[in-house]
């Protein structure tokens, strides 16, 4: 008699607010971010990588960044030498902000 497949167990419940369509992978390292607010003002901020997925990054910073701001990240610890896109989420408290970044697709030359 065939046995039923064992249910797949998850160690962590998925976050219902997570809009990523691909799995997260742990990330580590540092980079520099140029963030452009909706008025076009640029601020340079050091960032720490937390995780990444096919379409974005999770990072932490010491200062808040307005959702909707554009960014360019530069650094050796990034999946590619520079990345750019839009800040989609910023939450946290002074000195410890978690940002969700949606990266723009890169076109082949």
Q: From first to last of its 109 residues, what are the pLDDT tens digits of the chain?
A: 444 444 433 333 444 555 555 566 677 889 999 999 888 899 999 999 999 888 899 999 999 999 999 999 999 888 778 899 999 999 999 999 999 999 998 765 5
Domains contained in the chain, number: 1
User: CA triplet 96, 18, 43: central angle to 5 degrees?
Assistant: 40
The answer to whether residue 67 is domain-embedded is yes
d(CA 102, CA 19): 10
pTM value? Answer: 0.74
The answer to whether residue 76 is domain-embedded is yes
**Residue range(s) defining the domain that contains residue 52:** 25-103
Kindly write down the DSSP assignment for every residue of 31-92, as one continuous string. EEEEEE-TT--EEEEEEEEEEEETTEEEEEESS---TT-EEEEE-TTSSSSEEEEEEEEEEE
d(CA 68, CA 78): 21
The answer to whether residue 11 is domain-embedded is no
């Amino acid at each position: 008699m065939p046995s039923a497949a064992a249910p797949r167990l998850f160690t962590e419940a998925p976050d219902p607010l997570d809009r990523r369509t691909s799995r997260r992978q742990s990330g580590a390292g540092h980079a520099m971010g140029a963030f452009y607010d909706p008025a076009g003002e640029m601020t340079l901020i050091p960032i720490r990588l937390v995780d990444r997925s096919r379409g974005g990054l999770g990072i932490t910073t010491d200062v808040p960044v307005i959702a909707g701001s554009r960014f360019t990240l530069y650094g050796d610890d990034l999946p590619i030498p520079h990345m750019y896109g839009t800040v989609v989420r910023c939450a946290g408290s002074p000195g410890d902000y978690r940002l969700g970044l949606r990266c723009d697709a890169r076109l082949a030359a």
